[in-house]
Amino acid sequence: MAERWREPFASSPAIHNKMSTLPRKDTAPELALRRELHRRGLRYFVHRRPLPELRRTADIVFPRAKVAVFVDGCFWHGCPEHGRRVHRTNGWYWPGKVETNRQRDADSNIQLNNNGWKSIRVWEHEPVEEAAELIQAEVLRRRF
């Protein structure tokens, strides 16, 4: 099991307030992707566990097709394109936190795959139309 990292202290009350109010679900990239998928006629569930025994929630779930979609934020999930930023505040904390997130993401993918599910991960910066096309193709392929 991954090592638990001690939570850092916020560098200021303003930063604490900002970080504590960041949305964990229904983010702008999630909403844009959901709108596009809905526009394409796809119906889905949001913020649902694909596997009840797995304590992980997917952003978008297609139960019949067994497709789970995760919209990963560049900062939190270590995007290779945007996630290499050096953090000036609490620099000791963030590399371990992001690595723990990445390990959990990989474990989720493996567990879903082992149970017949397809896990699709989309970076928040990816064009919505391209992500929706990929998801739609996989959902349609797996429905029949």
The dihedral through the CA atoms of 125, 23, 94, 9 has a sign that is: positive
Which has the closest alpha carbon to 23: 61, 66, 59, 53? 59
| Cα 35 to Cα 41: distance, rounded to the nearest angstrom | 10
C-alpha–C-alpha distance, residues 101 and 85, integer Å: 16
Question: Looking at residue 72, what is its pLDDT?
Answer: 95
73-82 per-position pLDDT tens digit:
988 888 988 7
The answer to whether the CB of 39 falls within 8 A of the CB of 136 is: no
Give the Cα separation of 100 and 80 in Å (integer).
Answer: 15
Helix (H, G, I), strand (E, B) or coil at 135: helix
CA distance to 59, 75, 80, per residue, from 85 (Å): 25, 8, 10
Question: What's the whole-model pTM score?
Answer: 0.83
Domains of the chain are: 24-143 (3.40.960.10)
Q: What is the pLDDT of residues 61-96, one digit of tens each?
A: 999 999 999 999 988 888 988 766 666 777 777 788
